[in-house]
Each structure stands twice: as C-alpha cells, then as structure tokens.
C-alpha cells in the first residue's frame, strides 16, 4: 500500500502561502475541526488509492511553523474550493437548492416592464426563476455576450411573459458593482414567485450524497498543486463517476 510520506515534489513556498491565508481562530496552532478532519482523512485515502505503488506525497515547510501535519493543513485549505467545484460539476437534479428570500425584483429606471434581482453573496449556480407574471420558469439564463441579449431592450421582440428571458449581468447598486439577474419581461408585477439557486457551502456542510465526489475533487486539486496532472485527471474522473444517480 502506498503511503503519504515519500517525497514526490517540493512544495515549500506554495504551502507557506496557503498557510498564511488561514484564520488564526481556525488553524493557527494546527487545530482542525473534527468534521473537516473526517473529510481530510477521506481525501488522504483517495490520494493513497490513486498514487502509484511506492510513491507518495510529502510536503516540507521552511521555517519554524507550529503544525503537526502540513498535508492536513493543505487539504483543509482547499476543501471549500473543492466543495464549490463539486457543486458546480454535479448534475442539478441531485443538488439541494435554496430559495431566495428576495420577494420582488427592481424595476428598470427606464422601462417598468423589465428589471433585475441582485444575486446573493453566496450565489454559486442558477437553478430556476419564475416571476409572478410569467407563464413558465426560466432554467437556462443567458449572458450579456449572448447574441440574444442585444434584442432584450426592444419591447417588440424581447422575452415576454410567455417566453421570458433571464440574463446574468452587472448593475451599479449604491455605488457598488454587483452581479444581478436581469429579467425580460413582465406585464405589471415585479413580484418573484420563486428563485432557486445553489449556494456556496463549507465542505463539512455539503450534502452527504456528494461527499464521495467531494473527496475525489479535493484529491484532484492536491494533485494539480503538486503538478501531477495525470493523477489529477484520474481523480476528477472519479469525481464524476461518484455523483449519485438519483
């Protein structure tokens, strides 16, 4: 069985940079929450499973840093990134969306039949939007680079209540540039019937049926960091294979 103690590659500076990003209250003395340590051990098992026999991963850190296991801290540092990637890669039908608590959109200052909805700071992935006036929901928003966006300001050919259009865009709100969903268009009401999305989630809070994929994603990121693109590819393939079927 391969171990995680044989040197493959030196990673001093990159690991030191990662350690510098930690919140002192979380990992300042090498302490990791038990829930995250469980995930870390799963990731280590995946690393051990996919590394060729006789090889392993070892990290050394220059200087006197008070840590007991640099690999634990490295995995801990990338777990939330791995969680986001897993949530972005997973089929939508296996995810648990949240419903926005925003009740109404904001009408455009120049056109009362169109408007926008600011996206939450933890917004990760669009699921569906239905304005109260719409006859059906939107599940596939477009971007401002889509050729269909250029016609949305034309009230005769833009999206309407029968065939609405939603667009990822940006608006200046209280002197700050924010990401929004623009909607085209409504008859009179800017009330939101529902707006579901996937939110960013700490790794330890990811739904349980995604944990196998999450652990493979984290392993793939570790392999990328250590410049083992061949092993990263295998790990990310396992991420996809392990998504739940229902």
CA 24 to CA 29: how far, in whole Å? 8
Q: Which two tokens stand for residue 90?
A: 């997973």
49 domain-assigned: yes
Q: In this structure, is residue 22 part of a structural domain?
A: yes
Q: In whole angstroms, give the CA distance from residue 176 to residue 167.
A: 19
Whether 70 and 37 map to the same domain: the answer is: yes
Could you report the per-residue pLDDT of 187-243, keeping only the tens digit for each? 999 999 999 999 999 999 999 999 999 999 999 999 998 889 999 999 999 999 999
Return the pLDDT at 50: 86
- On whether both 146 and 222 belong to a single domain, the answer is no
pLDDT (0 to 100) of residue 63 = 47
Domain-embedded: residue 2: no
pLDDT digits (tens, 9 = 90+) for 164-180: 999 999 999 999 999 99
- Does 118 lie in the same domain as 62? no
> Is 67 found in the same domain as 134?
no
Q: Are residues 106 and 184 in the same domain?
A: yes
Same domain, 141 and 217: no
Give 103-168 as a DSSP string.
-B-EEETTEEEEEEEEPPTTEEEEEEEEETT-SS-B-S-EETTSGGGGGTT-TTTS--SSS-EEEE
Neighbour tally for 30: CB within 10 Å:
16
- The number of folded domains in the chain is 2
In a domain, 53, yes or no: yes
**Do 84 and 107 belong to one domain?**
no
Residue ranges making up the domain that contains 52:
12-91+207-241
117 plus 187 within the same structural domain? yes
Alpha-carbon distance of 196 to 133, in angstroms, equals 17
More confident site: 112 or 13:
112
| Ramachandran bin of 156, using left for φ above 0, alpha for ψ from -120 to 50, beta for the remaining angles | alpha
Asked if residue 246 is part of any domain, the answer here is no
Q: Does residue 4 lie within any of the structural domains?
A: no
Tell whether 7 is covered by a domain: no
Residue 19 lies in a domain: yes
Are residues 58 and 138 part of one domain? no
Whole-prediction pTM: 0.82
Q: How many CB atoms lie within 10 A of CB 144?
A: 12
Are residues 105 and 138 located together in one domain of the fold? yes
Residues 67 and 122 in one domain: no
217/192 same-domain check: no
Q: What is the mean pLDDT of the chain?
A: 86
* pLDDT on residue 53: 61
């Amino acid at each position: 069985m391969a171990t995680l103690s044989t040197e493959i590659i030196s990673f001093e500076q990159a690991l030191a940079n990662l350690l510098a990003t930690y919140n002192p209250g979380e990992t300042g003395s090498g302490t990791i929450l038990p829930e995250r340590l469980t995930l870390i051990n799963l990731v280590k098992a995946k690393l051990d499973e996919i590394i060729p026999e006789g090889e392993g991963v070892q990290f050394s850190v220059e200087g006197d840093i008070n840590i007991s296991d640099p690999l634990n801290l490295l995995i801990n540092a990338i777990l939330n990134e791995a969680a986001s990637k897993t949530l972005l890669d997973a089929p939508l039908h296996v995810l648990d969306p949240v419903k926005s608590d925003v009740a109404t959109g904001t009408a455009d200052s120049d056109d009362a039949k169109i408007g926008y909805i600011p996206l939450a700071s933890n917004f990760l992935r669009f699921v569906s939007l239905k304005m109260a006036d719409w006859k059906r929901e939107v599940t596939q928003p477009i971007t401002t680079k889509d050729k269909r966006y250029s016609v949305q300001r034309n009230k005769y050919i833009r999206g309407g209540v029968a065939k609405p259009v939603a667009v990822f865009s940006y608006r200046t709100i209280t002197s700050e540039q924010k990401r929004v969903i623009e909607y085209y268009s409504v008859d009179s009401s800017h009330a939101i019937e529902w707006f579901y999305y996937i939110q960013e989630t700490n790794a330890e809070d990811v739904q349980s049926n995604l944990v196998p994929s999450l652990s493979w994603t984290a392993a793939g990121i570790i392999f990328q960091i250590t410049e083992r693109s061949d092993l990263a590819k295998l790990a990310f393939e396992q991420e996809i294979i392990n998504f739940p079927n229902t």
